[in-house]
Structures are given as structure tokens and as C-alpha cells.
A and B are shown apart, each in its own frame.
Chain A
Amino acid sequence: MSKYESVIGLEIHAQLLTESKIFCSCSTTFGNEPNRNICPVCTGQPGVLPVLNKKVVEFAIKTALALHCQIAPYSIFARKQYFYPDLPKDFQISQYELPLATNGYVEINVNGNTRCIRIHRIHLEEDAGKLVHAGSDRIQGSTYSLVDFNRTGVPLMEIVSEPDMATPEEARAYVQEIAALLKSLGVCDAKMEEGSLRCDGNVSIRPVGDKNLGTKTEVKNVNSTKALKDALDAEIVRQIKAVDAGERIIQETRHFNENTGQTISLRSKEEAHDYRYFPEPDLVPLEVSKEWIDEIKQGIGELPAEKIKRYVEQFGIKTEDVETILESPGMAEFFEGAIRLYGKPQIVANWLTGEISAYLNAKKLEIKNSKLKISTLVGMLALIDKGTISGKIAKEVIVKMLDTGKSAEEIVKESGATQISDEGELIKAIQEVIKNNPKPVQDYKDGKKASITFLVGQVMKVTKGRAKPDLVNKLLEKELS
């Protein structure tokens, strides 16, 4: 990868979370019996008319606003014509000239660097049907195929990026960012493994520093962000090998095989792409007024990127902590609730991203389904502040709170894990430590002041962490002088 650099652009297809299809009233429910969610419109019977689902347009406008796009005041639909068994009308209703939105951007974070990825366009279209291949588990080697049109006409929003990504890691981060955004907007559930979010990668290589783009290939068939990264990595390696061997890269579609980790060329019977787009005569133009956009804008809650910015600015907590909090469903609400009661955002964040996240991840739990309540967490933090328990003890207490749902006070009372506030009791422990550690004591008296740290540690051990370190330090100094 030294002589060459890669250039990546992505096309994301997102299934929109509507109840009905984009141009007819069939249900979009997944998993029904084959060809149950079909009607004369989506199967392209003669004489039928498609009618646009208003919610589909609203979802796309929402997304376009979140991606800082320009929304076209006037856009139209077009017929994209090709022959494939999953396409009953022999054309797909899509947008070609005059798409709904153009010229946006999204910011992504990769290894601590923020990168801005431009969005070329967002347009609406209908999904195709599903093919089941017989005689083989894949299209290769199958003897015939079966077509289920339940998915035909499910609304798709295509988000096309500019070729702004330089590495497969950036491509992965971009898809993760878009998926998080679509989920938070409530327009798509963005499950790549179930196909509700699909991604094709366009990738090319060029000598480092070259301004011209190399010939690209399109990589398909990835069903996770990891598979996308692996597929792009493999395709870049393949292209470099080919160019180094004096071959020419052919513009083509390549499928990623997750088992072999390779991309393979798929030669189908399909004619070279010549879609002969023309305006869809059955659908009237779409005009989006400023008032409509403003109305939709008001319905958009705080976006993930805005929330991160606000948490960092308003609460002064670390960006990586905010990201951890936002990744966990319901944790942001918990965080804000705890701050309202308790203040001290960084301390709350440390507990949420530390012990509490570790516990939830291990048990595969969401915080709202756990036994921890905002009030009990705040109660525990108050016990630390009062000096009743040490931070170290609190780490054990929080696990018990998560296990049992009890308050910190109850747990502390039951286990007797309160801090020792009686100085007499502490001095007894300190004297014992001094007696058992003559060497460090002598070192301290000889001027090696640092050895007191060791002695404090020993006292903590003897008291099982129930002593307050700064008090132990003070008392030790007194005893040793």
C-alpha cells in the first residue's frame, strides 16, 4: 500500500420504516408467506397507477436535513429499465435527473480524526423482489430460481457519497455513522445483516499523489460493516496486484465471498448498463415547499453529532465517553437524569462508561432493563462524597446494586463495608503495619519519603479498603514522626 492510495465512494440503500409500500398500499411487513404482500400495482399489471406514499417523502426530507443537503424544490421520478427476474415491471421507478436532495455532508471520526464526507445525492426508489435459487445455495450453479415479490415496492432511500473515503476503515466509519443517524431519526432500522441497510462500495486505486481517479469496481454482497471493510481491503489488494502485473482494471461489479475473503467477478446475462431512463409518466412531479421543510425540521430531535457536541461543550466530558454513552440505548437519558440530580458530569460519565457499561455488556443488558436506577446511582455517589465508602469499595457496591436493585446504603449496611471513621481503630491498624514493615519504615525515616505510599497501601489492605487514603496518610505521618 506504499505506492498506491485507494479512493472509495459508497452507495447506501436504506429501507424506510413505513407501514405500506412506496407506490401502493401493500404491507411492508417482513417474513410473510411468499407473494402475500403483493397487488396489481407492485406486480405491474396493465392499467394500474402508482401513487406516492407521503411518509416516504417526509422520511427522505428528514434524512436530507440531517445530512445538510439541499432539498430540491422540484423533483421527478424516472423509469430505470432493465430486465431481471426480480423486477416485475421490467423497470424500476427511481429518481435520475432532479433527485430529491443533493450536496450534503456528514462528519465521521476515525482514530481520533474528524473527516468530512460529502453526500452527492439522496433519492427515492422502489425495492426489487427476492430471488430464491434452486439447486444451489447461491446464484452460481443454480438450475432455476423462484421469485417472491413481497419486497417489490418497499421504499428505498439511496444515499450516494462522493469518493471521499481514503481507506476501508473510513468507509466502515461512514456506514456506521449513517446507520446511527437513520436509526436516531427513526426512518430505518439499519440492520445490515437483515438487509434493511445495504451498501455497495465503489473503489479504485491510483499512484500516491495522483489527482486522476483510477478505473473503479463496484463491490457488492456485504452484510455487515466488517464485511464491507474486509471486501474493500481484499479488492484493493487485488487491484494493486493486477496493476503491478501490468493488467488493466475493468469497470465491473464484483461479489464478496465472506468464506474465501475474495471478491469475484459476476458475469450475468444482463446487457451492458444502458438503462434508458425517462420521466415516469404515471407520477406527477414532487414539489417541496419551504413550509413543509420547516415543519419536518421541527420534528427532528437532537442528532447524535449534535448531542456529542453539546455534551462536550455543556458538560465538559470527554468525546470518547460521550460516544460510549450514546452507543448504549437509553444511557443518554440516564446520564442526563443523573446530572440533574447530582451534577458532576464527568464523575457520572466515568461510572457509566466504566463499571456500569462493563456489567451491562457482559450481561447483554440495556441500562433501562437493568436494576440500577438513577436515584440509586446518585445515592451511591453521595455516599462516596460523604466518605462513607471509598471509591474502591463503591466498585464492588455498584455490581451488587446492578445484581439486586438494592440501594447503596442497604448494601453497605449489610456488608459492613463502610469506611472506618474512628481514628483509634485506624491507628491500631497503622501501628500493626509499622511493626510488620521495619524496612520501609526505616527507609522513610532515612528520608525516602516515597516509601509512605507503600505503607498506606498496606494499611488499605489490612482494613480491606475501608480506610480513607488521605486520612491514613496523615495519621501515618504523625505516627512516624
Chain B
Amino acid sequence: MALTIKDVEHVAKLARLGLSEEEKTTLVDQLSKIFGYMEVLNKIDTKGVLPTSHALPMKNVFRQDKAIPFNNTDEILANGPEVEKRMFKVPKILD
């Protein structure tokens, strides 16, 4: 299946990526090839094969419900471009 410029623009918008026209053209080509490979995989008969959601043969890894405070919250806050009253400042949300 060949992708169109419109598909690339849609995915780019969902991922908040700003692409130049040149990048879009390159990506249409590259993503189409990846899609083509998926089509090859789709031809494999997977009847009776359980879908895999995880690469490791592991299950049920738990923590006990115990609160342990993290002591360096200031360093996390320091990542914010702007902080006010210990909160991250963000631009207005609604138009």
C-alpha cells in the first residue's frame, strides 16, 4: 500500500512533528516501504498463533504497595522551562 503526503501530514500532526516539504516526500517513500514489509508479514498464515504483546517470556512482575518518597523532586522541577509555586507553567490550553 502506498502512502500519500496527506497520511504523513496526519501522522506528523498527531506526533507534533513539524516537517518540511522535502522531509514529507522522503517520508512518504520510506514509510511506504515499511508498510510494504508489513504486507509481506500479513501474508504469513498465523492461524492458531497467539498474538505477542511482549518480547520476553515473563509475566506478573509486581511491587508491594508501599510508599517510598523520592527525595529529589526539586531536580525534576528544574527541568521545567518555567516554574511557578512549585508547578510547571504551560501556555494557555484553549483558544
Question: Which residues of B22-47 have CB atoms within 8 Å of chain A's CB atoms?
Answer: none
The reply to whether A26 and B70 form a contact with Cβ atoms under 8 Å apart is yes
Residue A411 is within 8 A (CB to CB) of chain B in the complex: no
- Bitwise, A37-69 to B at CB < 8 A (1) or not (0) is 111100101000001111111000000000000
The reply to whether A27 and B60 form a contact with Cβ atoms under 8 Å apart is no
B76 contacts which chain A residues (CB < 8 A)? Answer: 35, 38-40, 43, 45
Cα of A37 to Cα of B65 in the assembled complex, Å: 15
Residue of A nearest to B50 (CB): A74
Residue of A nearest to B62 (CB): A54
The reply to whether A35 and B64 form a contact with Cβ atoms under 8 Å apart is no
Cα of A98 to Cα of B91 in the assembled complex, Å: 37
Residue B53 is within 8 A (CB to CB) of chain A in the complex: yes
Question: Which residues of A251-297 have CB atoms within 8 Å of chain B's CB atoms?
Answer: 266-269, 271, 274, 276, 279, 281, 283-287
The reply to whether B66 and A83 form a contact with Cβ atoms under 8 Å apart is no
A55 contacts which chain B residues (CB < 8 A)? Answer: 64-65
The reply to whether B86 and A33 form a contact with Cβ atoms under 8 Å apart is yes
The reply to whether A54 and B64 form a contact with Cβ atoms under 8 Å apart is yes
CB distance from B88 to the nearest CB of A (A): 4
Residue B49 is within 8 A (CB to CB) of chain A in the complex: no
Of the candidates B13, B53, B67, B90, which one forms a contact with A285 in the assembled complex, judged by CB atoms under 8 Å apart?
Answer: B53
The reply to whether A284 and B73 form a contact with Cβ atoms under 8 Å apart is no
The reply to whether A34 and B70 form a contact with Cβ atoms under 8 Å apart is no
Cα of A408 to Cα of B64 in the assembled complex, Å: 52
Residue A140 is within 8 A (CB to CB) of chain B in the complex: yes
Of B76, B77, B86, the most chain A CB neighbours within 10 A belong to B76
Cα of A279 to Cα of B14 in the assembled complex, Å: 18
CB-CB under 8 A for A34 and B86, given A19-B65, A268-B94: yes
The reply to whether B69 and A27 form a contact with Cβ atoms under 8 Å apart is yes
Cα of A33 to Cα of B69 in the assembled complex, Å: 13
Cα of A29 to Cα of B67 in the assembled complex, Å: 10
CB-CB under 8 A for A284 and B59, given A40-B70, A45-B76, A53-B65: yes
The reply to whether B87 and A20 form a contact with Cβ atoms under 8 Å apart is no
Cα of A269 to Cα of B95 in the assembled complex, Å: 7
The reply to whether B61 and A51 form a contact with Cβ atoms under 8 Å apart is yes
Residue B6 is within 8 A (CB to CB) of chain A in the complex: no
Residue A346 is within 8 A (CB to CB) of chain B in the complex: no
Interface size class of A (residues with CB under 8 A): 35 or more
CB distance from A140 to the nearest CB of B (A): 6
The reply to whether B14 and A276 form a contact with Cβ atoms under 8 Å apart is yes
The reply to whether B63 and A146 form a contact with Cβ atoms under 8 Å apart is no
The reply to whether B63 and A25 form a contact with Cβ atoms under 8 Å apart is yes
CB distance from B15 to the nearest CB of A (A): 8
- Bitwise, B7-18 to A at CB < 8 A (1) or not (0) is 000000110100
Cα of A28 to Cα of B55 in the assembled complex, Å: 31
The reply to whether A35 and B86 form a contact with Cβ atoms under 8 Å apart is yes
Cα of A344 to Cα of B69 in the assembled complex, Å: 54
B93 contacts which chain A residues (CB < 8 A)? Answer: 84-85, 131, 133, 139, 142, 145, 268-269
The reply to whether B92 and A25 form a contact with Cβ atoms under 8 Å apart is no
A37 contacts which chain B residues (CB < 8 A)? Answer: 69
Residue A113 is within 8 A (CB to CB) of chain B in the complex: no
A53 contacts which chain B residues (CB < 8 A)? Answer: 62-65
Of the candidates A83, A143, A276, A287, which one forms a contact with B60 in the assembled complex, judged by CB atoms under 8 Å apart?
Answer: A287
The reply to whether A28 and B95 form a contact with Cβ atoms under 8 Å apart is no
CB distance from B62 to the nearest CB of A (A): 4
The reply to whether A144 and B61 form a contact with Cβ atoms under 8 Å apart is no
Residue A177 is within 8 A (CB to CB) of chain B in the complex: no
Residue A18 is within 8 A (CB to CB) of chain B in the complex: yes
- Bitwise, A185-203 to B at CB < 8 A (1) or not (0) is 0000000000000000000
A131 contacts which chain B residues (CB < 8 A)? Answer: 93
Residue B21 is within 8 A (CB to CB) of chain A in the complex: no
Question: Which residues of A427-449 have CB atoms within 8 Å of chain B's CB atoms?
Answer: none
The reply to whether B89 and A146 form a contact with Cβ atoms under 8 Å apart is yes
Residue B1 is within 8 A (CB to CB) of chain A in the complex: no
The reply to whether B92 and A142 form a contact with Cβ atoms under 8 Å apart is yes
The reply to whether A140 and B61 form a contact with Cβ atoms under 8 Å apart is no
CB distance from A155 to the nearest CB of B (A): 9
Cα of A149 to Cα of B77 in the assembled complex, Å: 10
Residue A76 is within 8 A (CB to CB) of chain B in the complex: yes
CB-CB under 8 A for A76 and B65, given A35-B73, A140-B94: no
- Residues in A lying within 8 Å of B, measured CB to CB: 18-20, 25-29, 33-40, 43, 45, 51-57, 76, 81, 83-85, 98, 131-133, 139-140, 142-149, 266-269, 271, 274, 276, 279, 281, 283-287
21 CB contacts below 8 A, A to B, read A20-B63, A28-B67, A35-B76, A43-B76, A51-B61, A52-B61, A52-B62, A52-B63, A54-B63, A57-B62, A133-B93, A139-B93, A142-B93, A145-B92, A145-B93, A146-B87, A146-B89, A147-B90, A267-B95, A281-B54, A285-B59
- Residues in B lying within 8 Å of A, measured CB to CB: 13-14, 16, 53-56, 58-70, 73, 76-77, 84-95
Given contacts A267-B95, A285-B54, 16 further A-B contacts (CB under 8 A): A25-B63, A27-B67, A28-B67, A34-B87, A35-B76, A40-B70, A52-B63, A53-B64, A76-B53, A139-B93, A139-B94, A142-B93, A146-B84, A147-B87, A271-B14, A283-B61
